[in-house]
Structure 1
């Protein structure tokens, strides 16, 4: 375990976490706001774990599991990544739709940003958000992120960029 909040334990991903990752990113409601809007295929979960384990080795950080202290189940995951080799760390996160609207994002991500700055010396952090994901926009605003310039993705879709210095 890396750290915990009042209701959540935050820990590293492990080989064998495929089912837990799929529970989050295979959910069509969650997928609406991620990448191409489609649930990830189960087969991609092992590749995501492999990439994350490499990130732990090369950068010291990557994606993390958010586990309910009460039930022991994954409620979400997130962490800091550098997609496409971008310089600044990007905060990525997703919570299972069963756990939306319960304050988990604010609770966990507040501590994750603090942990990232103190333990990994992260300074400027960005987050990208689907323009229709008002809940994530609200959470990022509460964390102190400000809206930057929108990004046009390769598929022509607009992504909001939020920044924290």
Structure 2
């Protein structure tokens, strides 16, 4: 049985289960959905299987990782969100991706603030970042609506420029990590 983490008016967020593999693959093999993720290339099913195992290891090690988002009305998985440490980075980072059929409905804007609140309340995460390509304006809007602020630009492992957004729990300082 998978563990329920939080709900929003239209979504239920829970840990990944083996039964999610088909939807994981559907999202991450979609070239349009993957345009802004990693190297921009779709992921093969074997990579999705490996990612499922890595996520379960993250649950054991950190208590969090990637999570399934289910529509409350339908009960179907519509995408994923999570808190990860790509490449072993110290700061937790928001990641999310939805089935294309769920785009444009405000679901990411509903899920991400709840994910940030969950990370802080359950895991004591006071600062959470997100990286986004400068051209990915829809994701930038989602992050701004969630209370994240643009704090820097950095190059990813491929040399591409990313905008780095940060969220701070109330009363913990500024988005750059400085105390007020």
Return the TM-score normalized by structure 1: 0.95
**For the Cα contact (< 8 Å) 2:65–2:84, is it kept in 1?**
yes
Give the match for residue 14 of structure 1: 17
Aligned to 2:44: 41
Q: Which residue does 1:123 correspond to in 2?
A: 126
How do residues 29-68 of structure 1 correspond to structure 2 at under 5 angstroms?
29-68=32-71
Give the drift of 1:15. Answer: 2.3
Task: Please say if residues 34 and 130 of structure 1, whose CA atoms lie closer than 8 Å, have aligned partners that are also in contact.
Answer: no
Deviation at 1:154, TM superposition (A): 2.4
Question: Following superposition, which runs of at least 4 residues in structure 1 exceed 6 angstroms of deviation?
Answer: none
Higher alpha-carbon Rg? 2
Q: Which residue of 2 aligns with 1:143?
A: 146
In the alignment, what sits opposite 1:3? 6
Q: Indicate conservation of the 8 Å contact 1:64/1:79, yes or no.
A: yes
The alignment partner of 1:50 has SS state of helix
Deviation of the 1:37 alpha carbon: 0.9
Q: Distance in 2 between matches of 1:104 and 1:4?
A: 12
Residue 28 (structure 1) shift: 1.3
Q: Distance in 1 between matches of 2:131 and 2:88?
A: 15
2:75 aligned partner: 72
Secondary structure, aligned partner of 1:75:
strand
| Aligned mates of 1:124, 1:155 — CA distance in 2 | 25
Q: CA deviation at 1:158?
A: 1.1
**Partner of residue 87 from structure 1, selected from 83, 90, 96:** 90
Could you list the runs of 5+ residues in structure 1 that have no partner in the other structure?
none
User: In 2, Cα distance between the equivalents of 1:101 and 1:17?
Assistant: 22
Gapped regions of structure 2 (runs ≥ 5) = 169-180
For the 8 Å contact 1:67–1:76, the answer to whether it is kept is yes
Aligned to 2:111: 108
